[in-house]
Structure 1
Amino acid sequence: MNSATRVLESRVFAAPISKVWALVRKADFAFWTSAVASATVENGAAGEVGSTRKITFKDGAVQRYQIVELSDVAFSVTYELIESTPAVATSAAIHTVRLFKVTHDNSTLVQWESDFSSAGDNTTSVVEDSRLKKKEALADLAKALGK
């Protein structure tokens, strides 16, 4: 049986949106130091719709993402998983990172949302793995911001 699942994690950072966007915009996850070993831009330039990223994780997994939407006005980047070694338990995965300015104190709300389509009984494990990784990545973003 196929199912669709959405995972959303968020965090507020005591930093202006421009500073947070500078780390997130390239979608190279350079801030995610606890999990990412290396990241390279392939088939295009950083910050270019259609370009791809090859992310090598410290656990040995290698994934390629394609930037499908990028907005400097809306402070959002959307990317799609196009290849994974080892294979992941989903048939499709689209991720969006959105930033929102909190006007009260010039902080930034970061929302990281993923939509998955999966087959079989893997939905629960996919959701929990995604949730854990997002929390870890957002904690590393906080460290990169010095917060």
Structure 2
Amino acid sequence: MSRIPTSTSVTESAVIEAPMSAVWHLIKLQNFASFWSKLEKSEWVKGVSEETDIVKWMFKDGTVLEVKQEEHSAIDHYITYSVISSKPALTYTAVVSTVRCYPVTSGKHEGHTFVTWTGNFSSDADAGVIEDAKFKRREALADLAQAVSKK
């Protein structure tokens, strides 16, 4: 059976009806469980070098991911992370994701925050993986909007 050719990247975005300060405060790997309804909890992984930030995400469906912070910028408001381990195992080799926040400074959404969440997958990720990533990001962005609207 031949594979269906597919893009190995996904980008989802949303305008969150809250100021940048309220949204950016939650965009830290250890805080994703405070807004993402699919996550049961998240915790720091201890015993790794001081230069390496790794967080364990425990999903409500039993999946456990260890994600490594690759980049973080409080100036440009983005965080990039990679999945370094998964139980159950992933069906692809690698993924690097970035969540980026932009303040909306004019127009009808002035004072709100534009958020993008990208994922760049290894070439062995199939169309099902990309579709799943798309829907998970959409759900997480909706959860983020709901979390900041309660404040």
TM over 0.5: yes
Counting aligned pairs with the same residue, the percent is 39
Q: Secondary structure at the match of 1:60?
A: coil
Aligned counterparts of 1:18 and 1:26: Cα–Cα separation in 2: 17
Cα separation, 2, equivalents of 1:25 and 1:4? 27
Q: Which residue of 1 aligns with 2:53?
A: 51
Asked if the contact 1:25/1:76 (under 8 Å) is kept, the reply is no
Q: Which has the larger radius of gyration?
A: 2
After TM superposition, list the pairs within 5 Å mapping 1:1-147 onto structure 2: 5-43=8-46, 50-104=52-106, 105-119=110-124, 122-146=125-149
Superposed structure 1 runs of 4+ greater than 4 Å apart: 1-4
**Residue identity in the other structure for 1:100:** Y
SS in 1 for 2:95: strand
**C-alpha separation between the residues in 1 aligned to 2:87 and 2:30?**
19
CA shift for structure 1 position 107:
0.9
Q: In the alignment, is the contact (CA less than 8 A) between 1:49 and 1:67 conserved in 2? A: no
Unaligned runs of 5+ residues in structure 2 are none
Query: In terms of mean alpha carbon deviation, does 82-91 or 23-32 score higher?
Result: 23-32
Deviation at 1:34, TM superposition (A): 2.2
Residue type matched to 1:126 in 2?
A: V
The whole-number CA distance in structure 2 between the counterparts of 1:22 and 1:16 is 10
Equivalent AA in structure 1 for residue 148 of structure 2: L
- 2:39–2:58 contact (8 Å) kept in structure 1: yes
Kindly state the Cα deviation for residue 25 of structure 1 after the two structures are TM-superposed. Answer: 2.9
What is the number of equivalent residue pairs in this alignment?
142
Q: Kindly state the Cα deviation for residue 54 of structure 1 after the two structures are TM-superposed.
A: 0.3
Unaligned runs of 5+ in 1: none
The Cα of 1:94 is off from its aligned counterpart by 0.2
Relative to structure 1, is the Cα distance of residues 111 and 49 closer, same or farther in structure 2, using a 3 angstrom cutoff?
Answer: farther
Say if 1:28 and 1:53, in contact at 8 Å, map to a contact too: no
Tell me the CA shift for residue 21 of structure 1.
0.3
Q: RMSD value over aligned CA atoms?
A: 2.2
